[in-house]
Amino acid sequence: MSVESPPRLILIVTGSTLRAEELDRPLAYYLKQQVETAVGRRVEDGTDEAPAKVLVVADFRWMSDEPLQAAATISVGGPGVNALAHRWFEELPFSFAVDEQYCIQMDPDLAEPRVSLWGMDNPTTQIAVSIFVERYLPRFLDRAAVPPPESDDDDDEPDDD
């Protein structure tokens, strides 16, 4: 009997502010749909071996749950409304930016599959998400398909959550 590996995890992180909940969370669910569709196509054509589980989570959940931080992650919403975008503002290079209106922050080589998408307001954040889906999503998924390195923990016992 073969043991299937669990699906890889891709997280989409939004802010916890009321503005982020109202405007960025629906955008994150749109992005989730786009990622799931792209992954489905990749599984069908043999590019990916298995589907991915795509979840939308709040910034503070991601920041307080260390195991989640190993997953491929896309942050949606700017540093003023998303604590993860704030954290990554100085860490991730700007790969694409237009007139200080919207940007895509990520390592161009995607050494780590971490992306921050945001604009000066929700309409410009929508533009950043659209550009990411059109131009960068396939490369992101290539990198997200690589499992994260195994931890050095000696504890092989499952967590009691």
pLDDT for residue 100 = 86
Provide DSSP, 105-128.
EE-TT-SS-EEEEEESSHHHHHHH
User: What CATH topology corresponds to 8-144?
Assistant: Chitobiase; domain 2 (3.30.379)
| Predicted structure pTM score | 0.87
Q: What is the mean pLDDT of residues 36-41?
A: 94
* Contact present, 25 and 56 (Cβ < 8 Å): yes
Q: What is the mean pLDDT of residues 38-50?
A: 89
Q: Taking the domains of the chain in order of start, what are their residue ranges?
A: 8-144
Q: Does residue 1 register a pLDDT over 90? A: no
At 151, the pLDDT band (50, 70, 90 cuts) reads: very low
Furthest-apart CA pair in the chain: how many Å? Answer: 56
